[in-house]
Amino acid sequence: MDLSELETVVFGCQPLKVSKQQLDSVKRAYDFLTDFAKDKVIYGINTGFGPMAQYRVSDENLLALQYNIIRSHSTGAGEPLRYEWVRAAMLSRLCTFLNGKSGVHPDTVGQLIAFIQHDILPVIPQHGSVGASGDLVQLAHLSLALIGEGEVFYKGRRMPASEAIAQAGLKPLKLHLRDGLALTNGTAVMTGIGCVNLVLARKLFDKAVLGSVLMNEIAASYDDFMADELNSLKNHFGQSEVAARMRRHAKGSQCLQSRSEALYHRHTESQFKHKVQPYYSLRCVPQILGPVLETLLNAQKILEEELNAVDDNPIVDSDNKMVWHGGNFHGDYVSFEMDKLKNRRHQNDYVGGASGQLFVSRPYQRHPAAVCQFGRVGLELWFAGGAIYCHLHNRRVPDVVQSHVCPFDSQ
């Protein structure tokens, strides 16, 4: 599954497409694990969890163990996660199971599909994670709803999960050999949130590129700052691609000016009325948004890899007749990309904030009334774009390390 497919399911509520081959691989892994685990010690199947893994669990308590990990870890606090984050988290967990390497019962996959299709959204508190070391608490709350406990949002109401399951004509999930551990152990929530945030960040990025072209049109900028001959010399894909997108948006513009036509001939005036080169925040858009684009593209690569990965432990490998123990539940790949995305989102906002300040400030007097006044000039208050930018900056880094670039002629 790629990010576009996830977007259609999470935001467009499009039907899921699950192949028979995928469902067969789930059953094959479950059948293998059922037989393989009979006379072996396997973490989380016949042992405790975490530091309690040194203690064997008796056969008569194996199913209780799977319920216990869900109930014991459903200890989150705070406001519920947003609807689209929860949809994406369920979809991410489903993608892991459809690899056929988790050993879950086919009914577990069926319940996840049913919840997504019926838009039954478990109430998952925002707080209580263990950082990048898996999504134990959040996934426990997700799993709690699948077994008919906890709460969900359904048809616009918050209600007990058991009530929503009954209304949808479903039944609470009955856990099998390792379903509880498989449901709670992984990176599905951070991956789902990351995917949703990336989808939204890409939309904002596209608007920033288009808005930058419009700002340059208002300023009647010379268009050579977008030239491929200039930007390709910097050797960065992102910068060249942003410049190319700006050129496509600006094609046919009647506002941008040609430097060759306006300046590359004999002049006699000693002072030029029009800016010889656009303001810093206008002409440096490819250099500013180029790194943002590359961050978005790399985040997409990592998140799509994680979305389609087996982020479980242990791994049930029916092909090689082995159960592997490791740390695939760890989420540093996702967390690193989200840290970078947060920082670059601020850079994205800088373009709008700086250029917005430009058109409401004294150094730029060409169109302030037309651009920023929506009523009687002098009576209506102007747009305080700088305040928005500063607020976003404060959310990104501590105040003590702030440094704001001047949007005018600092360079």
Report the distance separating Cα 352 and Cα 342, nearest Å.
Answer: 16
Query: Domain containing 351 — which CATH number?
Result: 1.20.200.10
pLDDT at 271: 86
Residues of the chain with pLDDT under 50: 368-370, 382-384, 400, 407-411
Residue 239 lies in a domain: yes
Indicate if 97 and 157 belong to the same structural domain: yes
pLDDT at 360: 60
Residue 237 lies in a domain: yes
Indicate if 7 and 68 belong to the same structural domain: yes
Residue 410 lies in a domain: no
**What are the angstrom distances between the C-alpha of 33 and each of 24, 115, 316?**
14, 26, 7
Crossing angle of helices 83-97/188-218, nearest 10°? 130
Report the distance separating Cα 356 and Cα 367, nearest Å.
Answer: 12
Indicate if 168 and 203 belong to the same structural domain: no
Boundary residue ending a domain (317, 346, 363): 317
408 three-class SS: coil
Report the distance separating Cα 89 and Cα 86, nearest Å.
Answer: 5
Indicate if 127 and 255 belong to the same structural domain: no
Residue type, 275: K
Q: Among 308, 288, 303, 304, which Cα is nearest to 337's?
A: 303
pLDDT at 345: 75
Residue 163 burial by CB count (10 A; 0-12/13-18/19+): exposed, middle or buried? middle
Indicate if 296 and 206 belong to the same structural domain: yes
Residue type, 193: I
Residue 322 lies in a domain: no
Report the distance separating Cα 95 and Cα 306, nearest Å.
Answer: 10
Give catalytic status of residue 350 as yes or no: no
pLDDT at 356: 64
Indicate if 214 and 129 belong to the same structural domain: no
pLDDT at 411: 39
Q: Which two tokens stand for residue 380?
A: 């209506």
Indicate if 279 and 226 belong to the same structural domain: yes
Query: Domain containing 100 — which CATH number?
Result: 1.10.275.10
Residue 327 lies in a domain: no
Boundary residue ending a domain (292, 317, 342): 317
Residue 78 lies in a domain: yes
**Domain limits for position 105:** 3-187+311-317
pLDDT at 117: 95
Please pick, among 43, 55, 280, 389, the residue that the annotation labels catalytic.
Answer: 43
Boundary residue ending a domain (289, 317, 345): 317
Indicate if 212 and 152 belong to the same structural domain: no
In contact, 258 and 226? CB cutoff 8 Å:
no
pLDDT at 88: 97
Indicate if 143 and 201 belong to the same structural domain: no
The tally of domains found in the chain comes to 2
Indicate if 250 and 378 belong to the same structural domain: yes
Residue 409 lies in a domain: no
Residue type, 50: G
Indicate if 175 and 250 belong to the same structural domain: no
In contact, 35 and 88? CB cutoff 8 Å:
no
pLDDT at 410: 41
Residue 406 lies in a domain: no
Indicate if 126 and 152 belong to the same structural domain: yes
